[in-house]
Amino acid sequence: MSTLDLGPITEATIIVGFISVVPVVFAGSLNLYKYFKSRRRFDLITSLPFFFYALYLLGITLSYLFVSLGPFLFGCAAIIPTLFSFISFLDSISRESVDPIKLVIGTFLSTIFVVSLLMPNSTYFYYSSGALFIFWSDFFVITSFGIFMYTSLLLLFYFTKVLMNAPKELKE
């Protein structure tokens, strides 16, 4: 019985994946500590995106480590709460409630993402040129990109809005 040689690319992916989880969890932990100290809802909402994104990174990394699609699917499923926690975080900056239009768009993108995730052969492992790769079907890549693009555009819009409306003393 032979063992699967993961190759240098996959081993580097695993190492970088575990290293990437550490600062994300650290940032979320600092915000969570701040929440327990002050009991402000904003601090709790600020810490949630970090933890869900850390679950995403951990799932992807563990899927390469154990050569299993289970952690990969778990990591991909963590994208959905990451999206909704980012929406809650961004709306807590500018208002007291969550904008229902953003939630509808997030729900639509999440539904398409889950459908693409559950499609047959949407993801599988293949070994090529001395490295292990995870294949993502085109539809799965497009829906993942849609969720990440929507989150990125929301972040860009709100951070630009905060920068433009910040007092001059804070901009320097």
Residue 8 pLDDT: 59
Which residue reads 């990174």 in tokens?
57
pLDDT at 125: 75
pLDDT for residue 171: 62
Distances (CA, A) of 93 to 6, 98, 162: 44, 10, 9
Helix axes 41-66, 7-38, angle to 10 degrees: 160
Query: Which residue, 70, 54, 82, 76, is CA-closest to 151?
Result: 82
Positions in the chain short of pLDDT 70? 1-9, 129-132, 170-172
Task: State the pLDDT at residue 163.
Answer: 82
pLDDT of residue 41: 83
pLDDT for the residue numbered 97: 82
Flag whether the pTM goes above 0.85. no
Q: Which helix (H) or strand (E) holds 76?
A: helix 69-77
- Cβ atoms within 10 Å, residue 24: 19
**What's the pLDDT score for residue 1?**
38
Asked if 28 contacts 50 with a C-beta cutoff of 8 angstroms, the reply is yes
What DSSP assignment string belongs to 108-171?
A: HHHHHHHHHHHSTTSEEEEEETTEEEEEE-HHHHHHHHHHHHHHHHHHHHHHHHHHHHS-HHHH
